Chain A
Amino acid sequence: AQRVTQPEKLLSVFKGAPVELKCNYSYSGSPELFWYVQYSRQRLQLLLRHISRESIKGFTADLNKGETSFHLKKPFAQEEDSAMYYCALRSSSNTGKLIFGQGTTLQVKP
């Protein structure tokens, strides 16, 4: 079964501290993984994709096939990073639907 697990519902850190949002997946084959973010009162939007291997707003995520993980990291958290973060897996079906984790609320305290 294709599944995404985000074990933490809430992650609370102080400004300037490192952040790691955990994501594990279950998938047979080559997965395509994403991180989506939802800021307060805004719509869900793409943060980054594993394929592009880019850093967005200081965030990076590395696909670890051995551990079936795609954790999101940032070395120094900012207050504006406070948001809900969802890890998502693109389904192997022809439709390309996304399978989301439960989400993690990141709270960055001043």
Chain B
Amino acid sequence: AAGVIQSPRHLIKEKRETATLKCYPIPRHDTVYWYQQGPGQDPQFLISFYEKMQSDKGSIPDRFSAQQFSDYHSELNMSSLELGDSALYFCASSSLQDLRGRTDTQYFGPGTRLTVL
């Protein structure tokens, strides 16, 4: 079965640079979520999109922005990078209902490991 695709898998940037992370949800999934996981921490919700509209916002810095495009893929743009932005960034997707009737189950991509030097 198709899974969530994230690119790139690894990214190294300098402080104050800009990074763009991409997420391709599972086909026919209508909601995309972004999470940030620091070393030794649990994932923290950043932002989500339902049908290309922002649906919820968490602890996302003002330096970060995101959007969902007409083909449902999403991009997380991060500017003025700081050392503390080094983390694993997950994208997850869900559908109100899948083939087994289960709703609101989020499936995660492999993550993008961002290192800021």
Binding between chains A and B: no
Taking Cβ atoms with an 8 Å cutoff, the residues of B that contact A are none
